[in-house]
Structure 1
Amino acid sequence: MMSGVDTETLVDTWRRLLSGSGKSWVLFAHGTCVVLDEPAGDLAEQAKEILREYGPVHVTTAAGDFRVLELKNSEGWLVTGHHPDVVTFVPLDEPADPSHLAVGIHGRSKRHEDGTGLHVVHVEDAR
């Protein structure tokens, strides 16, 4: 399931969301962002290691849990999981059902795709 949002829009969205944080971050193809508290070396590789461990969904474990945060500007939601620095953006037009359960499951599935595909589309280096 590819995101209906293009990479440029995703990058702009994450730049706005993380503006002023001073954090480095890495964006993956389906909208999952890994924020790096302690950036070191190759940021894409560091983020891949985190997402390889914390991206794939394993139902009935902490990896299946999620929380949905509605963005104030009404552009969508953020779906968090069991790692505090791994967050997936879900735009308003995904999914068709805007309930928190549907959004959370959709965001979790996007995180799973990013965690198994590990396709980096952008690195923001704030070091």
Structure 2
Amino acid sequence: MKNNNLTKEALIEHVKLAINPHFKDWVLFKNGTYIIIENLEKGETIEALAMQKMKEFGPVHVGSPAGDFNTITLNKTEGWVIAGHGYGMYTYVHPSEVEDPEAQDYVIGLFGRNKRDEDGQHPEIIYVNRA
């Protein structure tokens, strides 16, 4: 797999197109993992809840539910999202990150899972979308 050459702005635009427009509140992390926030409790901030979820569900532990994933091909933008452990948590993978354009879903999924792990180990929020 290649390094991500997407600009921050391009990453944000692809993720916006990947998310069902029904979901208005979400947080994007540096390596492409985003968390959809549905039920914000009074007094909580979107950023704090996303950071809490990222610390809990972001790091990958092989052989546990955190190692599981599902690769979803997008139709409103290029690429894939990788779903895994943690409700509402997905990781975007752009085709420019994949060396083989014919790569199988599990290869793309493993790459996306590694990106999620990086976001889980070193969480850095780069964008917050609010309703």
Both proteins in one fold, TM over 0.5: yes
Q: Aligned equivalents of 1:8 and 1:111: distance in 2? A: 19
Residue type of the partner of 1:92?
P
1:71 to 1:45, Cα distance in 2 relative to 1, 3 A: same
Q: 1:100 aligns with which of 105, 108, 111?
A: 105
1:15 corresponding residue in structure 2: 16
1:120 corresponding residue in structure 2: 125
Gaps of 5+ in 2: none
Question: For the Cα contact (< 8 Å) 1:94–1:103, is it kept in 2?
Answer: no
1:4, distance to aligned residue in structure 2 (A): 2.2
Residue pairs, 1:40-51, within 5 angstroms: 40=41, 41-51=44-54
1:19 to 1:104, Cα distance in 2 relative to 1, 3 A: closer
Q: Aligned equivalents of 2:30 and 2:40: distance in 1? A: 20
Instruction: Please state whether the residue corresponding to 2:27 is helix, strand or coil.
Output: strand
Q: Aligned equivalents of 2:88 and 2:120: distance in 1? A: 13
Runs of 4+ in 1 over 3 A off after TM superposition: none
* Deviation readout 1:60-101 (Å, 9 max, x if unpaired): 000000000011246100101012300000001222132111
* Deviation readout 1:16-55 (Å, 9 max, x if unpaired): 2235314300000000000001134221111010010000
Residue pairs, 1:75-86, within 5 angstroms: 75-86=78-89
Question: What TM-score, normalized to structure 1?
Answer: 0.90
Residue-pair matches, total: 126
Identity value in percent: 32
Question: For the Cα contact (< 8 Å) 2:23–2:38, is it kept in 1?
Answer: no
1:55 corresponding residue in structure 2: 58
